[in-house]
A and B are shown apart, each in its own frame.
Chain A
Amino acid sequence: MTNNTELLRFTTAGSVDDGKSTLIGRLLYDSKSIYQDQYDQIKETSERRGEEGVNLALLTDGLKSEREQGITIDVAYRYFSTPKRKFIIADTPGHTQYTRNMVTGASTANVALILVDARHGVVDQTRRHAIIASLLQIPHIVVCINKMDLVDYSQEAYDKIQESFEGFAAKLDVKDVHFIPISALKGDNVVNRSDQTPWYEGPTLMYYLENVHIASDHNFIDQRFPVQFVIRPYSDEFHDFRGYAGRLAGGVMKKGDDVTLLPSGFTTKIKTIHGADGEQDEAFPPQSITIELEEDFDLSRGDMIVRANNQPEVTQDIDVMMCWFDNTKALKEKGKFALQHTTQNVRCVVKEIRYKLDINTLHRLQDDKEIKMNDIARVSLRVTKPLFIDSYRQNRITGSIILIDEVTNNTVAAGMII
């Protein structure tokens, strides 16, 4: 019950029947995050539907049509905490619009939970989830081999799945993969250690989530400060105050640092850093701060403050891995869109679709340039004015973009800069 707990965001992915909702229900229930009135409500609903026992999966169904159809349509966010950490679950559905939802949940996650049914092993869906986790650079992956109770807690079944996943993951850009044999339904190795799996010596899922090292998931090396908003009080007390507000996207910023302003290229020093609790000597991601510079230059939203000797690439041509979200039309070459990158709003044209990625096999389909909803493709874009970019691998904030349809105003694609 202290204030010094860390925040861990994780995403769950699984197909319709692999017990994802049950696992989330189990985490919430065993960590005592389900309230009595919520429990009573789902118990009553389970009984009315004639289901056996209390269906914990109902906890994650929010919308009327989801309850009617027994499916999850949209990303749902769930919260629970233990004395060590506070957790945010982005629960993403595994079927329709799966890529769109998974990518959305994955974009801010520290950890991806991938569920595998112990009876079926690694299937297409598992590979798809792993590819997306790798594309979105989720730092940690946990493969939960679920329904161990239905394979008699067999170590052989577990080993076979681990081997098969590792064989496939070798082709991916994933750093940290863990395997845990669980039964979400019975509770084995979720919060409490199971006595059915004496051959398993690793942590329970909850222990893993509470202890995985996430402090270095941000980039603390390359200073990047996109100017979000300029604060001018125009009051007697702060007559000449000109503060640049924003959220530090990378690096550690210290008072007195020599900095370069982009795009102008002027150099100056950091005079003061105002944080949420007043002045501070240094700032680090993901803090929201307001800074004053030694000298006043013309600097506004969309500009960036960086270290003189460590600058992002400044360019109008970017290459991205793009996930297409729009179900009303396909992505085409020469298409024009609004583009958001950090705090910049520009326009772009699709110069070239280089290839489509087969999301089950990782094959590059160079002859298939029909990019429809849920497809992932490598695309070259030309933008109307220079952006200050890093590769997504280096920085998830300065390396990501979204595309917006200028007629419907819908967000139609997400891109990771290569």
Chain B
Amino acid sequence: MDYNLSHIKELEAESIFIMREVAAQFERPALMFSGGKDSILMVHLAHKAFYPAKIPFPLLHVDTGHNFPETIAYRDSLVEKLGAKLIVGSVDEAIESGLVTEEKGFNASRNMLQIAVLLDALEKGKYDAALGGARRDEEKARAKERFFSHRDEFGQWDPKNQRPELWNLFNGRKNMGEHFRIFPISNWTELDVWQYLAAEEVELPSLYFAHERDVFEREGALLADCEFISKKSDEIVKKEMVRCRTIGDMTCTGVWRSTATTVEDIIEEIATTRMTERGGRTDDKRSETAMEDRKKEGYF
């Protein structure tokens, strides 16, 4: 007898299992949607997990106000296509209401401000599980993350005291006011994501493909020139063929010199590259444990 699943189909089956487990174990889950490829994959998998019913949870987008305009356009058309519900937590509004204070200076970013806005949105919506598209291969602190990751009443992660996860058994029990972060695609790598999106012919935001853009260099990373970043006098803007490997806030998402215009080109590029995808993220470079520190406070 030879019943064999390819590794991609096994990962797909695992992620679908996790999503169904969330729908069964939690009362009010929400799917954190950033417009990046990982959250697009998440939506695609959620669609499969509950077909022919609709995805039984809303999409939650934390809008920094500094998004690439392409991201918002893509998000809105996807939501319309799926008939999904969209909730937006706005950093602009949070600054106006005094919930958070804007950082100043050349490296100012709204990255940290997202934490408070996310926690506020989860609390307001009484969401007890927030599904996210983080992967363990992305970053060393994320390598220690569970599928079902418990957060205390302050939204904090305690990495040294995590619940063991065995077999197919996921413990989603919690007290009032606590919530869970759920990471169904934990075991996918960047290459798996692209191979799957290619095989499934999923439509993707144009930012992932090579295009001409005004960019400038800072600390070895290439950033998109935009109104949200103040440039130093020696930082010179030039036009280059680039694409995004990750999509986040414009102020911290590096772009990448590339000529990849199709998904196949991208797969080829990733398979041969010598840099991690978050290598262009200035938010991770603030210190060696920048991701761990943010995650403990409630970051994605």
**Is B51 a contact partner of A274 (Cβ separation < 8 A)?**
yes
If A6-B4, A107-B166, A229-B24 touch, whether A287 touches B51 (CB-CB below 8 Å) is no
A384-418 near B? 1/0 per residue, CB < 8 Å: 00000000000011001110100001110010000
B61-73 near A? 1/0 per residue, CB < 8 Å: 0000000000000
Q: Distance in Å from the Cβ of B191 to the closest Cβ of chain A? A: 7
**Is A342 a contact partner of B168 (Cβ separation < 8 A)?**
yes
Contacts of B51 in A (CB 8 A): 231, 274, 290
Q: Please provide the chain B residues from 1 to 17 with a CB less than 8 Å away from any CB of chain A in the complex.
A: 1-14, 16-17
Contacts of B212 in A (CB 8 A): none
User: Would you call A336 an interface residue if the criterion is a C-beta within 8 Å of the partner chain's C-beta atoms?
Assistant: no
**Is A241 a contact partner of B52 (Cβ separation < 8 A)?**
yes
If A35-B274, A86-B7, A414-B164 touch, whether A64 touches B49 (CB-CB below 8 Å) is no
Surface stretch bound by B, among A98-106, A145-153, A356-364: A98-106
Contact of B5 among A100, A216, A287 (CB under 8 A): A287
**Is B159 a contact partner of A63 (Cβ separation < 8 A)?**
yes
Q: Name the residue on A nearest B3 (C-beta).
A: A284
Contact of A77 among B169, B174, B186, B289 (CB under 8 A): B186
**Is A61 a contact partner of B164 (Cβ separation < 8 A)?**
no
Surface stretch bound by A, among B27-35, B90-98, B136-144: B136-144
**Is A397 a contact partner of B4 (Cβ separation < 8 A)?**
no
A85-107 near B? 1/0 per residue, CB < 8 Å: 11010000000000011011001
**Is B143 a contact partner of A276 (Cβ separation < 8 A)?**
no
If A36-B275, A274-B51, A338-B173 touch, whether A343 touches B167 (CB-CB below 8 Å) is no
Surface stretch bound by B, among A187-195, A204-212, A232-240, A306-314: A232-240
**Is B7 a contact partner of A108 (Cβ separation < 8 A)?**
no
**Is A397 a contact partner of B143 (Cβ separation < 8 A)?**
no
User: Would you call A266 an interface residue if the criterion is a C-beta within 8 Å of the partner chain's C-beta atoms?
Assistant: no
Q: Name the residue on A nearest B9 (C-beta).
A: A276
**Is A76 a contact partner of B143 (Cβ separation < 8 A)?**
yes
User: Would you call A79 an interface residue if the criterion is a C-beta within 8 Å of the partner chain's C-beta atoms?
Assistant: yes
Q: Distance in Å from the Cβ of A88 to the closest Cβ of chain B? A: 6
**Is B21 a contact partner of A228 (Cβ separation < 8 A)?**
yes
User: Would you call A22 an interface residue if the criterion is a C-beta within 8 Å of the partner chain's C-beta atoms?
Assistant: no
Name which of A85, A237, A397, A409 has the most chain B CB atoms within 10 A of its CB: A409
Name which of A1, A243, A245, A397 has the most chain B CB atoms within 10 A of its CB: A245
**Is A35 a contact partner of B143 (Cβ separation < 8 A)?**
no
Interface size class of chain A, counting residues whose CB lies under 8 Å from the partner chain: 35 or more
User: Would you call A196 an interface residue if the criterion is a C-beta within 8 Å of the partner chain's C-beta atoms?
Assistant: no
User: Would you call B108 an interface residue if the criterion is a C-beta within 8 Å of the partner chain's C-beta atoms?
Assistant: no
Contacts of B7 in A (CB 8 A): 5-7, 81, 85-86
Name which of A73, A231, A397 has the most chain B CB atoms within 10 A of its CB: A231
**Is A276 a contact partner of B12 (Cβ separation < 8 A)?**
yes
**Is B3 a contact partner of A220 (Cβ separation < 8 A)?**
yes
Q: Name the residue on A nearest B53 (C-beta).
A: A233
User: Would you call B48 an interface residue if the criterion is a C-beta within 8 Å of the partner chain's C-beta atoms?
Assistant: yes
**Could you tell me the distance between the alpha carbons of A340 and B275 in the complex, rounded to whole angstroms?**
42
**Is A409 a contact partner of B169 (Cβ separation < 8 A)?**
no
Q: Name the residue on A nearest B195 (C-beta).
A: A3
Contact of B173 among A4, A238, A287, A404 (CB under 8 A): A404
**Is B167 a contact partner of A79 (Cβ separation < 8 A)?**
no
User: Would you call B126 an interface residue if the criterion is a C-beta within 8 Å of the partner chain's C-beta atoms?
Assistant: no
Contacts of B275 in A (CB 8 A): 35-37
Contact of B143 among A78, A107, A290 (CB under 8 A): A78
Q: Name the residue on A nearest B160 (C-beta).
A: A73
Q: Distance in Å from the Cβ of B72 to the closest Cβ of chain A? A: 29
**Is B6 a contact partner of A103 (Cβ separation < 8 A)?**
no
User: Would you call B175 an interface residue if the criterion is a C-beta within 8 Å of the partner chain's C-beta atoms?
Assistant: yes
Q: Name the residue on B nearest A215 (C-beta).
A: B4
Contacts of B279 in A (CB 8 A): 35, 37
Q: Distance in Å from the Cβ of A302 to the closest Cβ of chain B? A: 10
Q: Name the residue on A nearest B198 (C-beta).
A: A3
Q: Name the residue on B nearest A97 (C-beta).
A: B164
B170-181 near A? 1/0 per residue, CB < 8 Å: 010111000000
Contacts of A396 in B (CB 8 A): 167
**Is A64 a contact partner of B289 (Cβ separation < 8 A)?**
yes
Q: Name the residue on B nearest A100 (C-beta).
A: B164
Contact of A104 among B159, B165, B267 (CB under 8 A): B165
Q: Name the residue on A nearest B23 (C-beta).
A: A229
**Could you tell me the distance between the alpha carbons of A197 and B195 in the complex, rounded to whole angstroms?**
39
Contacts of B189 in A (CB 8 A): 79, 81, 86
**Is A237 a contact partner of B160 (Cβ separation < 8 A)?**
no
**Is A404 a contact partner of B171 (Cβ separation < 8 A)?**
yes
Contacts of B10 in A (CB 8 A): 7, 286
User: Would you call B187 an interface residue if the criterion is a C-beta within 8 Å of the partner chain's C-beta atoms?
Assistant: yes
If A63-B144, A286-B13 touch, whether A108 touches B159 (CB-CB below 8 Å) is no
User: Would you call A65 an interface residue if the criterion is a C-beta within 8 Å of the partner chain's C-beta atoms?
Assistant: yes
If A35-B275, A241-B52, A287-B13 touch, whether A340 touches B171 (CB-CB below 8 Å) is yes
Contacts of A154 in B (CB 8 A): none
**Could you tell me the distance between the alpha carbons of A247 and B17 in the complex, rounded to whole angstroms?**
7
B22-58 near A? 1/0 per residue, CB < 8 Å: 0110000000000000000000000011111110000
User: Would you call B239 an interface residue if the criterion is a C-beta within 8 Å of the partner chain's C-beta atoms?
Assistant: no
**Could you tell me the distance between the alpha carbons of A286 and B160 in the complex, rounded to whole angstroms?**
31
User: Would you call B276 an interface residue if the criterion is a C-beta within 8 Å of the partner chain's C-beta atoms?
Assistant: yes
Contact of A35 among B4, B168, B271, B273 (CB under 8 A): B273
User: Would you call A38 an interface residue if the criterion is a C-beta within 8 Å of the partner chain's C-beta atoms?
Assistant: yes
9 residue pairs A–B, Cβ–Cβ below 8 Å? A35-B279, A36-B275, A76-B143, A79-B189, A81-B189, A228-B17, A247-B168, A288-B14, A396-B167
Besides A104-B166, A235-B52, A402-B169, 8 other A-B contacts (C-beta < 8 A): A35-B279, A63-B144, A75-B164, A86-B192, A108-B167, A232-B53, A241-B53, A288-B14
Q: Which 3 pairs, one residue from A and one from B, show the smallest C-beta to C-beta distance?
A: A7-B7, A36-B274, A284-B3
